């Protein structure tokens, strides 16, 4: 094929030249992109000494990738569109300079024990950026320069990566050990680079290497997990990558970029396409939160794990769109990221794709341990989410945590992450201290080591139900605390998208007190048995109803702010027990028709009555159903109902004279001689009666 061909062709360039001749807006975009060309021509090259920099994991080798990518987008673009050889010759000099380096990765990898590495994220990023430059300036290079640069890219970047990750004769990694984003990034970038320089390599060898890369990436997409090494599958049943939004974008986006250049070069890549998980893009978009900012609709994202609220997911959404894999939701997000000049030259204009995520469900449960619900897909709505799954690497030790976003911003939050070089990263942000979870006072919480070893007994979303005006999620968070408890169920009842009721059911190995940490953005004021919160235009009231707790403040650290302090609140039970039942409520905007609360007590049952706007709800927990009964069923009489339910939610509409009953894990529900539901095994159900 004729260079360039990685991202666009000579024919694409000709169309773009005509476009900027006739379209003033396109001309302005192009001129803005290359406006720093003179400065870029004088930019000093990163030296090998600078790259080796500090004695850290990556040293400063990322500077090579950054400089190449930046100059490709300025000098490479100017050469391709204007035919000016000077920018291309400057890029040639930079490539010749970089291939003179001994290696493109830090010495920390060269001396790694027990096995040295020869490639990493920095080296493969540099490899792809160098190959892109080679593709852009191929026409100005002499045959000798083409051979020297292609050979340098192959020996410094492509071969080391393939040797570490792909080639059966030398491979040191498996998906099980590097099944997170590194696998897709390193292989995807090295394989894309190989496509750019393959015309200077023996064809048979290159074909074999690319076929092996395709298989390796397909195995990454289909990875089922490995119980022996505490690894879960990479993509769950809804297509979500377990390691959080940021690394779905990085890993999956790098893979899709390779798929795009692969198919431009060789046609449809069935090996990878056949392995793409169902729901790949919509799974990601379920974690999005539309906001109205700077006069436009933007997309923020739930920041579980090592993600940011304002995560840029353009790599995955835009390449998905370019490959025909985009959905209405992902294309809506891609359109907000703008269109780069490389993509526009190739014929794509994401800004014109005015689609919407509104076809996605408002409530979703993921087998990887996430559950979420929202009131709308319109901007600045209310979004409630729970996580109770695996911990490993970028997925934090936060089983049983929850987030609540309201009126355009996070309110009850995950404290996020920080620089991976900071001691706060592993010691604080990855651990349960940075999340709204339960832990024991003397025993502690989840073990720090699970971040490295994985979670042998992961949390899970063990129950869910969507009723007419409520959603119930049950998080089983006992697994990661199995050294301390045999039971830790967090029941979240979310009413009318404004009231959260939490029922925590805990059984400890030894008597202990339980503490519940609440993380929030904004300010708070202690009030009675709880606290009142303010965050911008949002208000909330949190109340601890049962048992009696003490309220204290604990220092927390905000997202990317390990050197800053902020408060978090801790609600701690007073008595040391083995069995704990905690009932809390969190009410949004309580000044608007506030709810009233009444504690309820029955025979082996605890409850709470919530009344608001003519709707009366009773939530009952059946202590006979807390797991301690053997052979005898958990029969009880609760609020006049004869039942063996674990939880009962009774909703009475005092205006319409109707009563709805939601039962969790019940085999029967009877009252006054009438049987409303029956079965030989327990299940969750909802029935409607008249008052």
pLDDT, one tens digit per residue, over 137-181 is 999 999 999 999 999 999 999 999 999 999 999 999 999 998 789
Q: CB within 8 A of 90, min separation 6: which ones?
A: 40, 41, 71, 75
DSSP 493: E
pLDDT given for residue 267 in this prediction: 95
Residue 330 has pLDDT above 90, yes or no: yes
Hey, which residues does 534 pair with through a beta bridge? Answer: 523, 539
Distance set, CA 526 to CA 293, 514, 533, 543, 571 (Å): 32, 20, 9, 10, 12
CA distance 545 to 461: 24
Strands 409-412 and 530-535: unpaired
pLDDT score at 452 = 86
In the numeric block, the tokens 């601890």 are attached to 544
Contact at 8 Å (CB) between 534 and 522? Answer: yes
HSE-CB of 238 using CA atoms within 13 angstroms: 20
Cβ-in-10-Å burial (0-12, 13-18, 19+) of 225 comes to: middle
Partners of 501 in the β-ladder: 493, 585
> What Cα–Cα distance (Å) separates residue 63 from each residue in 161, 383, 480?
19, 38, 39
What was the pLDDT predicted at 351? 83
Q: What is the dihedral of CA 291, 296, 297, 301, to 10 degrees?
A: -50
Contact by Cβ (8 Å): 416, 430? no
Beta carbons of 73 and 35 less than 8 angstroms apart: no
The mean per-residue pLDDT over the stretch 291-318 comes to 96
Predicted local confidence at residue 439, as pLDDT: 97
Report percent pLDDT > 90 for the chain. Answer: 92
Nearest to 599 by CA among 575, 573, 626, 618: 618
Which residue is listed with tokens 């083995």?
Answer: 578
3-state DSSP of 10-38: HHHHHHHHHHHHHCHHHHHHHHHHCCCHH
Rounded to an integer, what distance in angstroms lies between the CA atom of residue 381 and that of residue 292? 10
Instruction: Select from 220, 215, 212 the least CA-distant residue to 176.
Output: 220
pLDDT at 679: 96
The encoded tokens of residue 458 equal: 């992961």
**Distance of alpha carbon 541 from alpha carbon 543, whole angstroms:** 7
For 210-256, what is each residue's pLDDT tens digit? 999 999 999 999 999 999 999 999 999 999 998 899 999 999 999 99
Contact 234, 179 (CB under 8 A): yes
- Work out the mean pLDDT of the chain and round it to a whole number: 96
pLDDT digits (tens, 9 = 90+) for 569-603: 999 999 999 999 999 999 999 988 899 999 999 99
CB under 8 Å to 76, separation ≥6 — which residues? Answer: 87, 88, 91, 132, 133, 136, 137
pLDDT score of 183 more than 90: yes
- Closest by CA to 238, choosing from 282, 301, 179, is 282
Question: Would you place residue 352 in the very low, low, confident or very high pLDDT band (cuts 50, 70, 90)?
Answer: confident
Whole-number pLDDT of residue 378: 97
The confidence score (pLDDT) of residue 620 equals 98
Q: Write the pLDDT tens digit of every residue in 620-665.
A: 999 999 988 888 899 999 999 999 999 999 999 988 889 999 999 9
- d(CA 592, CA 408) in angstroms, rounded, equals 18
Confidence at 62, pLDDT banded by 50, 70, 90: very high
**pLDDT at site 662:** 98
Question: Average pLDDT, stretch 357-373?
Answer: 97
Q: Find out whether the peptide bond into 114 is cis, omega within 30 degrees of 0.
A: yes
Res 451: pLDDT: 85
Q: Helix, strand or coil for residue 357?
A: coil
pLDDT at 204 over 90: no
| Two structure tokens written together for 234 | 């990479």
Which of the residue ranges 204-208, 210-214, 471-475, 636-640 would you say has the lowest mean pLDDT?
204-208
Share of the chain above pLDDT 70, in %: 100
pLDDT digits (tens, 9 = 90+) for 482-528: 999 999 999 999 999 999 999 999 999 999 999 999 999 999 999 98
Which whole-number Å values give the CA distances from 408 to 309, 499, 536, 537, in the listed order? 11, 18, 10, 9
Secondary structure class of 369 (helix, strand, coil): coil
Confidence band for 690, pLDDT divided at 50, 70 and 90: confident
Q: In what order do the strands lie in the sheet with 409-412?
A: 363-366, 370-374, 382-387, 401-406, 409-412
Distance CA 245, CA 333 (A): 13
The answer to whether 511 touches 535, Cβ cutoff 8 Å, is no
End-to-end CA distance of the chain: 77
Angle at 399 (CA atoms; ends 398, 403), nearest 5 degrees: 70
Q: Can you tell me the mean pLDDT for 671-690?
A: 95
Kindly tell me if the per-residue pLDDT of 450 is higher than 90.
no
Q: What pLDDT was estimated at residue 435?
A: 98
């Amino acid at each position: 094929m004729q260079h360039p061909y990685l991202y666009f062709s000579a024919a694409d360039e000709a169309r773009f030249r005509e476009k900027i001749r006739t379209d003033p807006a396109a001309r302005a975009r192009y001129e803005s992109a290359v406006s720093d060309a003179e400065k870029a021509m004088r930019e000093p090259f990163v030296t090998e000494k600078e790259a080796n920099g500090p004695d850290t994991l990556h040293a400063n080798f990322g500077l090579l990738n950054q400089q190449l990518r930046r100059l490709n987008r300025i000098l490479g673009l100017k050469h391709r569109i204007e035919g000016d050889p000077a920018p291309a010759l400057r890029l040639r000099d930079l490539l010749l300079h970089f291939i003179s380096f001994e290696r493109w990765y830090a010495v920390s990898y060269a001396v790694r024990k027990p096995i040295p590495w020869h490639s990493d994220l920095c080296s493969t990023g540099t490899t792809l950026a160098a190959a892109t430059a080679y593709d852009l300036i191929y026409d100005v290079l002499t045959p000798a320069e083409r051979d020297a640069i292609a050979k340098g890219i192959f020996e410094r970047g492509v071969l080391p990566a393939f040797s570490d990750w792909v080639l059966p004769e030398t491979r040191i990694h498996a998906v099980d050990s590097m099944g997170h984003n590194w696998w897709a990034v390193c292989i995807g970038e090295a394989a894309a680079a190989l496509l750019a320089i393959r015309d200077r390599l023996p064809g048979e060898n290159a074909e074999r290497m690319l076929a092996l890369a395709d298989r390796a990436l397909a195995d990454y997409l289909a990875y089922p997990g490995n119980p022996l090494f505490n690894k879960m599958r990479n993509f769950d049943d809804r297509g979500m990558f377990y390691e959080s939004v940021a690394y779905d974008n990085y890993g999956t986006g790098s893979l899709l970029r390779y798929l795009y250049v692969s198919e431009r070069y060789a046609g449809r890549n069935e090996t990878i396409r056949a392995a793409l998980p169902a729901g790949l893009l919509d799974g990601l978009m379920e974690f999005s939160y539309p906001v109205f900012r700077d006069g436009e609709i933007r997309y923020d994202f739930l920041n579980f794990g090592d993600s940011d609220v304002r995560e840029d997911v353009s790599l995955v959404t835009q390449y998905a769109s370019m490959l025909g894999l985009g959905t209405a939701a992902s294309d809506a997000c891609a359109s907000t990221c703008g269109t780069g000049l490389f993509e526009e030259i190739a014929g794509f204009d994401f800004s014109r794709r005015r689609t919407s995520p509104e076809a996605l469900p408002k409530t979703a449960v993921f087998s990887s341990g996430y559950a979420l619900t929202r009131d709308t897909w319109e901007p600045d709505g209310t979004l409630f989410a729970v996580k109770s799954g695996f911990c490993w690497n970028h997925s934090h030790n936060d089983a049983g945590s929850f987030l609540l976003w309201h009126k355009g911003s996070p309110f009850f939050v995950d404290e996020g992450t920080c620089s991976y070089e900071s001691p706060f990263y592993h010691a604080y942000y990855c651990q349960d201290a940075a999340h709204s979870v339960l832990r024991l006072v003397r025993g502690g919480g989840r073990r720090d080591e699970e971040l490295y070893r994985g979670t042998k007994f992961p949390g899970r979303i063990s129950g869910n139900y969507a009723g007419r005006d409520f959603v119930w999620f049950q998080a089983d968070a006992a697994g990661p605390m199995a050294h301390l408890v045999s039971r830790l169920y967090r029941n979240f009842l979310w009413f009318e998208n404004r009231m959260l009721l939490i029922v925590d059911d805990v059984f400890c190995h030894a008597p202990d007190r339980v503490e519940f940490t609440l993380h929030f953005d904004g300010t708070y004021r202690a009030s009675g048995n709880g606290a009142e919160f303010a965050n911008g235009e949002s208000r909330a009231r949190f109340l601890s109803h049962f048992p009696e707790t003490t309220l204290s403040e604990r220092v927390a650290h905000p997202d990317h702010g390990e050197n800053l302090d902020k408060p978090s609140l801790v609600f701690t039970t007073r008595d040391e027990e083995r069995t704990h039942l905690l009932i809390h409520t969190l009410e949004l905007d309580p000044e608007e028709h506030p709810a009233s609360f009444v504690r309820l007590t029955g025979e082996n049952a605890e409850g709470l009555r919530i009344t608001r706007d003519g709707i009366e709800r009773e939530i009952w927990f059946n202590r006979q159903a807390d797991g301690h009964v053997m052979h005898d069923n958990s029969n009880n009489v609760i609020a006049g109902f004869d039942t063996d339910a674990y939880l009962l939610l009774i909703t009475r509409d005092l205006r319409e004279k109707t009563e709805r009953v939601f039962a969790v894990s019940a085999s029967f529900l009877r009252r006054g001689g009438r049987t409303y539901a029956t079965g030989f095994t327990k299940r969750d159900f909802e029935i409607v009666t008249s008052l």
